[in-house]
Amino acid sequence: MGGNLMVRQPFWRWAGASAAGLAHEAQGIPCEDSWRACQTGRPSGIEIVAVCVCDGAGSASRSAAGARLVSWAVATWLSQHFETVQSEDTASAQRSLVRFVIKWLRRAASRNEVEIAAYASTVVAVAVRSDGAWVSAHLGDGAIVGRCNGGLRLLSDPMKGEFANETFFVTDEDAVEELRMSGSSFQTQTSKPDGFVLFTDGLENALINRRSSQVAPALGRMLDWLDTYSQEEVAKALQSNIRSVLRETTGDDCTLVAMTMRSNEGYE
């Protein structure tokens, strides 16, 4: 019974949920958002967790598949190349990530005899390491909020064109240049948040104010839940709150993932 008391490396926990927008649901269209988390360990015991949320383009014929594929590819690449991103120059990391995603989209497009634009999707991703180092990758709308020293901060705001229905996708010709990468290794971002929330554009209006960079208190509460309850319980609560409260503020699909770091002392 029991075990040895030991101090583990701090580790990251996450929980997420997606729901089809009310407009999509009314038309019988499935959710075109997707999200994926990928956890990998290094021999040193250090862990990396990469999370990506994606919104498939409404005009693309395979938008739901695009969001699924892109979220998987981005989370996989970030978890495998975390150290490379930290040491490489940003332009090179942007190029490698987009190339990796496009490679997988090309395979799917070729198999189904469609253009890769059929899989057009946005990218909102964060990868974190147990020492608190982090990297984000963002293309298109959606946003990333971080919890730094107990306060919430908009770390990456939505990337939009002039008009409300214009945004950027990973399949765009200039995706490499448009992709926004930042993180703890970059000079402009030196803080190490202990919590992140990533979400697609369906939730933007309820959760952030782009003009003032204000962040909704709801996000702080979600991170608190993850500090307190199990990942499964929080995932259920997120799903329920998106469906009953957040989704009422938009017609669009909604996806949100929260991550928090926990310094853990426990029995093994």
Partner 1 sequence: MSEGAMEIHKDDLLSNPTNRVPIGLCLDVSPSMTGEPIEELNQGVELFFKALKEDRVARLSAEVAIVTFGTSAQVVLDFQSLDRISGPPTVQITGDSTNLGAGVALVLDILEDRKNVYKEAGIDYFQPWLVLMTDGQPTSDEHLRAAPRTCDLERAGKLVVFPIGIGQGTDMDVLAMFSEKRHPLKLKGLNFAQFFEWLSKSVVCVSQSRPGEKLKLDTEGVKGWAEI
State the residues that interact with partner 1 by CB under 8 A. Answer: 23, 55, 57-60, 63, 120, 122, 140-141, 160, 162-167, 169, 201-202, 204-212, 214, 216-218, 221-222, 225, 229, 233-234, 237, 241, 245-246, 249, 251-252
**Least distance CB 29 / partner 1 (angstroms):** 11
CA distances from 267 to 8, 35, 233 (A): 9, 32, 22
DSSP-based helix, strand, coil % in the chain, nearest 5: 35, 30, 30
Q: In terms of CB distance, is 88 or 115 closer to partner 1?
A: 115
Q: In terms of CB distance, is 86 or 205 closer to partner 1?
A: 205
Cβ atoms within 10 Å of 34's Cβ, excluding its own: 25
**Least distance CB 262 / partner 1 (angstroms):** 17
Q: In terms of CB distance, is 187 or 212 closer to partner 1?
A: 212
Tokens 């990796």 locate to 100
**Least distance CB 33 / partner 1 (angstroms):** 11
**Least distance CB 229 / partner 1 (angstroms):** 6
Element (H, E) at 151: strand 151-156
SS3 assignment, position 160: strand
Crossing angle of helices 63-80 and 90-112, rounded to 10°: 140
Contacts (Cβ under 8 Å, ≥6 apart) of 76: 38, 50
**Least distance CB 169 / partner 1 (angstroms):** 7
Q: In terms of CB distance, is 130 or 200 closer to partner 1?
A: 200
Q: In terms of CB distance, is 131 or 233 closer to partner 1?
A: 233
CA distances from 10 to 52, 194, 260, 264, 265 (A): 21, 10, 10, 6, 9
Residues in the chain: 268
26: tokens are 């009314």
Q: In terms of CB distance, is 135 or 175 closer to partner 1?
A: 175
**Least distance CB 97 / partner 1 (angstroms):** 21
The span from the CA of 147 to the CA of 191, in Å, is 10
